[in-house]
Structure 1
């Protein structure tokens, strides 16, 4: 048996870094004492003393920081008495991997799987071990794949000895370095950061072969526990789930908050992964995972494709495939899975099956879009044939046919959009809002209903008829107003009540971002209040208004005599010039109107009006700072 000299070298580097630094500091201190004692080289003694102090301080701070770092386990604890079946499986897999069984099992909300050792600093001493299993793995893997994954993680710690200590040290060092990089004192960051980088590089070089050997042993443990096919799939599956879980949350779990219902999370996740329309997406992600490189300098896994190929060349261990969902490893999954979901995720209300949840959420979303469309039409002030545009579906179609679509939807857009982004955003938003209004009209008339679609997430189906995609139906007419009559015919044929108009949404609540009292407009003093949705100009109140404006409703302030309210979307272009003695603001408004304001030395500001205007108007505001310019010398 070969002597594990590389493991010994890695441990020497791990511990010896501080020993060498402490020894260097002590040597410098001794040299300084001797130099000062001789009295012949006092300057050198002072330099040596300063160097000893610097190195000693850096070493002390580094050692204190390293010793204070602890790995915190995540998730909820799975008690042995509550889940004896799971604990039996974990114990069996530990024996297969020739490792000690973990002291604790936890289920976390993220896509994660690993063994956390809460031992001493730098992993030199074996501590209390916690096996963390991510909740998404229980829904996104099979029993065989999860067995392979758990055996792999336990296999990292198998057989004990120096190599296991090196692996724990690598885990602890990676975590420690990550924590220290965030929390280093600013004054010590350059010195300690430089020392950390050198320490990590030398350790990774020394421990590399040991860590690679550990990974190969862990792969063997995975095959022994679940078979070659499950072990190969288990290598790739976490990467696929890491991409799928956020998408599932965005597309489906977000509906739960909208509906005020609590879903069956893992059942839904498994159905989401199995949707035929998504299969190609997961195959692409799988190839990306196979081609991915190391995730950090501590990652000494051989390339994933090489590991999968190496498993293919290995004889099949005697393990029967088990393609049941991984949650079947839990006792009484019908009860225990919802309990885990409730413990880890936010309680949004009563539990509901996915079809009911999606139906309620989709109707709610359509209602919101219909209300937003009505609000936008009223706020736009658009005129159709000399009359205000009507918020009914027929009125919107008429305005759209007259080429006023962009004007109708402008109040619903983000005021800070850059001019180049407005056309595309106008089309996208208008399609969503008109489709939402049509869907709401159909649902209220009981001529259609939403149903769950794992390719979707929801589709609208006519009662006794086919599914319809209203956004796809509306989009051509928004792009080409000449097609509006055809859209009108389609909507009429489906039974959409074209006279439907939703109750307008409440105006967005304005938040005061900054104010300026004593600005000049046409030579007269005024107050400027900048909100996140627009700006308000009022006759001067002698500085009293700005101090109380945040407590007053915007609607009340807009009713004051002489008040001039300007919505953010009404500003087409602006220019702000910052001078030493104040600033000048020019705004060009919709309809060729203009606004000019001047801030002087007497202007009292609360907050930063310039920054608030930049946040409101985005790229439409040009800012010029002339405060630092120097006057050019006059010729002659």
Structure 2
């Protein structure tokens, strides 16, 4: 079956989806008429009333579904983004208009910059696009940061290709119809009455048949949009854009978790404009394979059974079969290939404006710290969190072992559960002294919180279970000491993970020294040697 015939078949089924509501309403009207005029004798008015009430509820559910279908083409509310006018960003609009013209389409009426790795065109259409309306283009700033101008052209041409491709107009109509059908099914899934559930089951069954039938048409439309992009931006640039998308997406997720959200535990944010703008720094520091490594091993999202997008590798393979056109792949760093962010004027203001639109209101009250200050604040907070369980356990162990007025050792369990205040917490030297006196495995380890199932462990198994917690606690205490003495420096580490730079002696010998201090027979001498050397480095 040819593509055109498949598209016609899908269009017929789509019209059937619209008519389904009218058919159901007509059937219920006929049923009500028969019930009232033919089937029930006088005196059964109460039963007639019940039947009419039920059919009325069903009719309401059907009308709701029909309205949802007809409203599926609406643009909806203004997105959480920054509206960009042509006079404000003429270079970006020039690229947008050129891509629309090549696809034989009109340019969008609105352009919004958003905080997602995404690009898309939405239209205020009626009758599934037969009557066009207002258009809106969404462009993600993280996407612009990860693409060059040629690759951005490919992305734009692909998006407008969904509306263009005159040889596949029926395919574009089917694509809009699929979106409307899915929207209608979602409306029914949110229904709270039994009637919504019953009627929704009818619509869902029909929708599944339509989606299965139209899936090949929708995927062919994606291929057609890719080919439109390749003709405009170049074969290799289109392939490069497709390959870059999942890498940019993975890199942005890493950036948000590791950098933009770094100040969460300390209630602070990066500098104004850098919550999103810092992503460009990460991309600049990790070109090529180092950036792609962030996506390695990442499990791809489970595809929707009715996803209109073919597998990425199939799309790439199909474009690569096109004849070479002599144009480059538009990779970053190639001669004359500028980053797509270069199309924006006043980039810092754009990033700041987008932050103001997307950050929650309470974020406006948070202090802004320079990246190095943010790294230092987070490192201190982490170190305090690692060390606190160990400090509390040592404090309680020392209290339980301390002599009372009669000189007898207090050994009651009640003593170990007494409240410990911050002023009661031991110093790093106190902790090492406790280890030297044999308290680590005799008293301290038992007082470190652990899951109930670990409480049954004994001997070497118990020590091995709790040893990493003790290691982290000591490492946190050391980190705090080095921060206080000025021997630790912040490292934003755009090429790795943010943290602290420690003196060479600590970088090379700290782990071994901590391992010795928490061994089955603790030896704190190596750690004390390092601490003494650090004290000598501190300028009075």
Alignment pair present for 1:476 and 2:490: no
Which of 128, 137, 140 is the aligned partner of 2:143?
137
Alignment of 1:16-35 (within 5 A): 16-30=16-30, 33-34=33-34
Q: Offset at 1:326?
A: 2.7
Which of 201, 214, 230 is the aligned partner of 1:207?
214
User: What secondary structure is seen at the aligned counterpart in 1 of 2:375?
Assistant: helix
Q: Offset at 1:219?
A: 0.9
Which of 268, 279, 295 is the aligned partner of 1:285?
295
Which of 314, 337, 358 is the aligned partner of 2:322?
314
Q: Which residue of 2 aligns with 1:555?
A: none
Q: Offset at 1:114?
A: 1.6
Instruction: For 1:231 and 1:117, locate their aligned partners in 2 and report how far apart those are by CA, in whole Å.
Output: 24
Instruction: For 1:38 and 1:470, locate their aligned partners in 2 and report how far apart those are by CA, in whole Å.
Output: 96
How has the CA–CA distance of structure 1 residues 483 and 314 changed in structure 2, closer, same or farther, with 3 Å as cutoff?
farther
Q: Which residue of 1 aligns with 2:371?
A: 354
How has the CA–CA distance of structure 1 residues 228 and 411 changed in structure 2, closer, same or farther, with 3 Å as cutoff?
farther
Instruction: For 1:234 and 1:121, locate their aligned partners in 2 and report how far apart those are by CA, in whole Å.
Output: 33
Q: Offset at 1:207?
A: 1.9
Instruction: For 2:89 and 2:134, locate their aligned partners in 1 and report how far apart those are by CA, in whole Å.
Output: 20
Provide the aligned length of Structure 1 versus Structure 2. Answer: 488
How has the CA–CA distance of structure 1 residues 57 and 359 changed in structure 2, closer, same or farther, with 3 Å as cutoff?
closer
Instruction: For 2:197 and 2:204, locate their aligned partners in 1 and report how far apart those are by CA, in whole Å.
Output: 11
How has the CA–CA distance of structure 1 residues 356 and 24 changed in structure 2, closer, same or farther, with 3 Å as cutoff?
closer
Q: Which residue of 1 aligns with 2:345?
A: 331
Instruction: For 2:24 and 2:269, locate their aligned partners in 1 and report how far apart those are by CA, in whole Å.
Output: 64
How has the CA–CA distance of structure 1 residues 420 and 180 changed in structure 2, closer, same or farther, with 3 Å as cutoff?
farther
Q: Offset at 1:215?
A: 0.5
- Contact 2:513–2:524 (CA under 8 A) maintained in structure 1: no
Q: Which residue of 2 aligns with 1:74?
A: 79
How has the CA–CA distance of structure 1 residues 419 and 73 changed in structure 2, closer, same or farther, with 3 Å as cutoff?
farther
Alpha-carbon displacement from aligned partner over 1:543-592 (angstroms, at most 9, x marks no partner)? xxxxxxxxxxxxxxxxxxxxxxxxxxxxxxxxxxxxxxxxxxxxxxxxxx
Alignment pair present for 1:219 and 2:226: yes
Q: Which residue of 1 aligns with 2:65?
A: 62
Alignment pair present for 1:165 and 2:173: yes
How has the CA–CA distance of structure 1 residues 175 and 442 changed in structure 2, closer, same or farther, with 3 Å as cutoff?
same
- Contact 2:123–2:134 (CA under 8 A) maintained in structure 1: yes
Q: Which segment drifts farther, 329-338 or 95-104?
A: 329-338
Alignment pair present for 1:393 and 2:401: no
- Contact 2:247–2:294 (CA under 8 A) maintained in structure 1: no
Instruction: For 1:433 and 1:107, locate their aligned partners in 2 and report how far apart those are by CA, in whole Å.
Output: 45
- Contact 1:450–1:458 (CA under 8 A) maintained in structure 2: yes
User: What secondary structure is seen at the aligned counterpart in 1 of 2:323?
Assistant: coil
TM-score, L = length of structure 1? 0.65
Which of 421, 444, 461 is the aligned partner of 2:502?
461
Instruction: For 1:382 and 1:227, locate their aligned partners in 2 and report how far apart those are by CA, in whole Å.
Output: 74
How has the CA–CA distance of structure 1 residues 61 and 338 changed in structure 2, closer, same or farther, with 3 Å as cutoff?
closer
Q: Offset at 1:307?
A: 1.6
Alignment of 1:95-244 (within 5 A): 95-120=101-126, 125-159=131-165, 161-181=169-189, 183-244=190-251
Structure 2 gaps of 5+ residues are 333-337, 404-408, 410-415, 417-423
Alignment of 1:233-632 (within 5 A): 233-257=240-264, 258=266, 260-263=268-271, 264-266=274-276, 268-273=278-283, 279=289, 282-283=292-293, 285=295, 295-317=303-325, 319-320=327-328, 321=330, 323=332, 324-345=338-359, 346-347=363-364, 353-367=370-384, 369=386, 373-375=390-392, 377-378=394-395, 383=400, 391-400=426-435, 402=438, 404=440, 408=444, 413=449, 417-420=451-454, 426-454=466-494, 455-462=496-503, 465=504, 468=507, 472-473=511-512, 476-477=515-516, 480-485=519-524, 487-489=526-528, 491-492=530-531, 494-495=533-534
| Larger RCO, structure (CA 8 Å, separation 6 or more) | 2
User: What secondary structure is seen at the aligned counterpart in 1 of 2:139?
Assistant: strand
TM-score, L = length of structure 2? 0.75
Q: Which residue of 1 aligns with 2:412?
A: none
Q: Which segment drifts farther, 204-213 or 274-283?
A: 274-283
Q: Offset at 1:209?
A: 2.8
- Contact 1:156–1:218 (CA under 8 A) maintained in structure 2: yes
- Contact 1:459–1:467 (CA under 8 A) maintained in structure 2: no
